[in-house]
Structure 1
């Protein structure tokens, strides 16, 4: 049976409130949690962006949930620092942590002052980072000269077992590529047929491990308000690659999304006032073979969503399973 988790969106919720929300989610019956890791939000209206790695230690101490994070080594983060962060959390909370590795977005990575590489270069850089991180989590001393440079690095505090390094993919091609190196796959809600192709591509190429899905959704008892919240908070996130990868600031995201209509947010966000419809859609995703589904309510206020889904949606999903 799929696990249903709470997604902690640092770009929208201050870290103290987000800590309270994930504790509330555990009490409401959520099975797991997942964290974003950004330096900037996608919009000034979202207005936050706390440091995920500091928050993760507090959140894992405050709950008993398994946690994952989606991060991007190679530019803003040196892979040795990512390995140390992963190793520390996995040592403190054995068996409760996984990290998904992606190629990043210009809005977070440009702050180093280094050029933003082409997608194929970012893929190659990430692949080097994966090998570096794995070797460090095995306790090896690593030196490497390539798209990333490492000089005699070693991570001294190690977990009993290295945690899974999950591949992040939004396309069939990237899912195939992740199958070669990843311990699992994570993607986001899309058309069911597209998700089926992504899962099939990953497994067909020998992809191992658990399948994760992040679902952007919006619920409010008032259907007009549900749509309005989604439009206010998520209209900057309706642009497909490469735009979402290459736009480099919240200010630009806000300019290009200024005239996005409400109708365009449907699809990128599952919007409904009907909890039964949300449960049905999530059951459809689970039937595709996803092992863990992280629910991201795109509103900034999380309590009503957590309570409603804990009371009505999660029981329906478990009964259906």
Structure 2
């Protein structure tokens, strides 16, 4: 059976409000949660970017849900520090935490002042980071001299069972590559044929563990309001790689999205006031074989979404 969780968008919602929403989501019947790890939002209209790792400790304590975070080690974060963060949350909340690792976006990583490597270099750097994190979580002392440098690092606080490290991917090529190192796969909603191909690429390359989907959606009591929410909050997020990887600032995303239409947004976000339509979309994703589906309402007020989907959509899916 597919689990249905909530996605918590730090780049859109203040952390205290986001914590209240995830507590409400557990009461409403959501099975799990995941969150983003950004230094910068995608738009000045979104206007937030709380520190995910601080928030995760509070959210895990305040609920009994499982939580994941999408993270990019190697530039803004040293992998030894990410291993320590993963190990601490895993030790405090056994079996409830996972981390999805990806190559990141320049809008978050430029803050350290370093150059933004080519994609193939970022892939190689991520693979080195995965090795460092796994070895540290296994209790080894780690030294590396490569794309990342580590000097005699050791984790003194570790969970008995290392939390899963999941691969983040949006292309079939990356999904197949993740199969070589990941404990699962996470991607975002796309046309059904592409998602089917993503799962197949991962599984056929030997990928193990759950396949997870983050679904961008916009719901409101009226179609006009659902459209307005999606267009206001998510029109700067419609760009495929490399644009979304390589732009630097929220202002840049706002500039390139100036002429984005509602139709462009609808191609990336499931927009509807009709709850039955959302049930239909979600059933379709589950039928593709996703083990976990995380619902991301792209609006900044999550409570009406949480209450309505908890009362009407989740029961229909189950």
- 1:274 and 2:277 aligned: no
Residue aligning to 2:122: 122
**Deviation for aligned residue 1:263:** 1.2
In structure 2, the partner of 1:289 is 289
Q: Deviations over 1:175-200 (max 9, x none)?
A: 01000000000000000000000000
What is the rounded CA distance, in whole Å, between the counterparts of 1:53 and 1:234 in structure 2? Answer: 24
Q: 2: distance between equivalents of 1:217 and 1:138?
A: 38
Deviations 1:161-214 (A, max 9, x none): 001100000000000100000000000000000000000000000000011100
Q: What is the deviation of 1:267?
A: 1.8
| TM-score normalised per structure 1 | 0.99
Counterpart of 2:314? 314
The residue aligned with 1:221 is 221
- What whole-Å deviation, never above 9, does each CA across 1:75-99 have from its counterpart, x for those lacking one? 0000000000000000000000000
1:151 matched residue in structure 2: 151
Task: Give structure 1 regions of 4+ aligned residues with deviation exceeding 6 angstroms.
Answer: none
**What number of residue pairs does the alignment pair up?**
318
SS at match of 1:287: helix
Q: Please state if 1:25 is matched with 2:25.
A: yes
**What whole-Å deviation, never above 9, does each CA across 1:75-126 have from its counterpart, x for those lacking one?**
0000000000000000000000000000000000011110000000000000
Deviation at 1:258, TM superposition (A): 1.1
Residue in 2 aligned with 1:46? 46
Q: Unaligned stretches of 5+ in structure 1?
A: none
Superimposed CA distance per residue, residues 32-78 of structure 1 (whole angstroms, 9 cap, x where no aligned partner) = 00011000000000000000000000000000000000000000000
Secondary structure at the counterpart of residue 288 of structure 2:
coil
| Residue 86, structure 1, aligned to residue 86, structure 2 | yes
CA distance in 1, matches of 2:256, 2:281: 30
- The whole-number CA distance in structure 2 between the counterparts of 1:252 and 1:313 is 36
1: CA distance, partners of 2:289 / 2:80 = 33
Residue deviations 1:122-151, cap 9 Å, x none?
A: 000000000000000001100001001000
Measured in 1, the distance between the counterparts of 2:11 and 2:261 equals 22
Correspondence 1:235-250 to 2 at 5 A:
235-250=235-250
